[in-house]
Amino acid sequence: MNELKWESKDRADQALRATLHTLRDRLTIEEIVQLAAQLPLPIKGMYYDGWIPRIGQCYLKTWNSQEEFMNNFSMVQI
């Protein structure tokens, strides 16, 4: 929060949520669950928030560059 010069904890929480969702949307279902198992409970809630798993759906998305990843991240409102 301090490094970004954000005074609002809510804004930092929104950035964390956007980061988690961007990562989650790139992983397979198995990887999503494996990563979640490593997270503390409050962060795990943020990570799973809004996720609806669908059998047979492939979640794996790839980005060709850091810029492409950041563009995807910036589509999530912070």
pLDDT band at 12 (very low <50, low <70, confident <90, very high): confident
Distance CA 8, CA 32 (A): 29
User: What CATH number is attached to the domain comprising 24?
Assistant: 1.10.490.110
Encode pLDDT of 15-65 as tens digits: 889 889 888 887 888 888 999 999 999 999 999 998 888 765 555 566 666
The span from the CA of 73 to the CA of 78, in Å, is 10
> Is 1 a domain residue?
no
In a domain, 2, yes or no: no
Q: What is the pTM of this model?
A: 0.66
Domain containing 62 equals 9-74
At 32, list the tokens: 């999503």
